[in-house]
Amino acid sequence: QLETLEQEEQECLELTPHPTEKTTHIVSHEHGMTVTKTLQEGEAERQCLSFSYSRAKLRGLLLEGASLLLLRLLARRQTMPLDLAFPAINTEGDLCTSSY
């Protein structure tokens, strides 16, 4: 029984004259998870958006780190169950489905 407690993703684009930095921070708490997205484009004001998902919506959630562990386990067992799918959070922070 593994559970993601916290995850942070950072993306930097060195585009002249407006470098862009995107950060997504996901943290678990007793009611579910909070996703905080930050966007900094050049000298513009930093934009920040935060939203939460309830535990009920996240049942079976598979984030990036857990997905890597699952892929390694499946490769080691050399087997793939049919219709293997989990709730996930995409790069925009929206709930989606991750299918294998």
Which residues in the chain show pLDDT less than 70? 1-2
Q: Which two structure tokens, joined as six digits, stand for 11?
A: 């993306």
Confidence at residue 1, expressed as pLDDT on a 0 to 100 scale: 66
17 occurs within a structural domain? yes
- Domain housing 70: 6-99
Confidence at residue 17, expressed as pLDDT on a 0 to 100 scale: 83
Measured in degrees and rounded to the nearest 5, phi and psi for residue 2 equal -100, 145
Residues 80, 85, 86, 88: is their CA dihedral positive or negative? positive
Per the structure, how many domains does the chain have?
A: 1
40 occurs within a structural domain? yes
1 occurs within a structural domain? no
Rounded to whole angstroms, the Cα distance separating 69 from 75 reads 10
91 occurs within a structural domain? yes
